[in-house]
């Protein structure tokens, strides 16, 4: 059986899931692949934060703060790259939702494959204005 077939029963509407750790229906926090057991593990946000806190030796509140900062940084990158795309194309807006989704996929692929985890973590220490300048130098669209 394909490990991803299990996801069909674990992922719910509205960004919720059935957590493999606590068994509750909660907001989705992450998906991991347990290579040893050859299965996909779905984790709610609460359990994911507890796992991260324990792993890093920090409080759950600190893990939540770091997670929020990580997402805030990636949203700034997405916004800058969306502006870059529109400027390259000479547009003010996207022509369709499909175009916006296609562009966002390319942006997130660049974020995940062109930047190391170490680089992305270092971004979390920078101020928003500094991030915008750094992100302008990372070309995704030509």
Strands of the sheet with 39-44, listed across from one edge: 11-12, 16-18, 25-34, 39-44
pLDDT, tens digit, 9 for 90 and up, residues 14-39: 999 999 999 999 999 988 887 887 78
3-state secondary structure of 43: strand
pLDDT, tens digit, 9 for 90 and up, residues 38-81: 788 899 999 999 999 999 999 999 999 999 999 999 999 999 99
- Kindly report the pTM of this predicted structure: 0.74
- Euclidean distance between CA atoms 121 and 71, whole angstroms: 11
Q: Are strands 39-44 and 25-34 parallel, antiparallel or unpaired?
A: antiparallel
Note the residue count of the chain. Answer: 142
Lowest-confidence pick of 1-5, 64-68, 86-90, 125-129: 1-5
């Amino acid at each position: 059986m394909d490990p991803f077939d299990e996801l069909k029963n674990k992922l719910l509407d509205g960004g919720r899931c059935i957590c493999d750790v606590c068994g509750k229906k909660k907001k989705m926090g992450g998906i991991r692949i347990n290579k040893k057991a050859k299965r996909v593990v779905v984790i709610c946000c609460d359990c994911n934060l507890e796992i991260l806190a324990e792993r890093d030796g920090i409080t759950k509140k600190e893990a939540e703060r770091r997670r929020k900062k990580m997402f805030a940084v990636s949203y700034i990158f997405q916004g800058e790259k969306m502006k870059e795309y529109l400027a390259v194309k000479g547009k003010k807006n996207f022509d369709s939702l499909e175009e916006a989704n296609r562009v966002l996929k390319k942006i997130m692929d660049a974020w995940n494959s062109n930047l190391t985890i170490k680089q992305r973590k270092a971004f979390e220490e920078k101020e928003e204005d500094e991030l915008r300048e750094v992100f302008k130098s990372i070309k995704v669209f030509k």
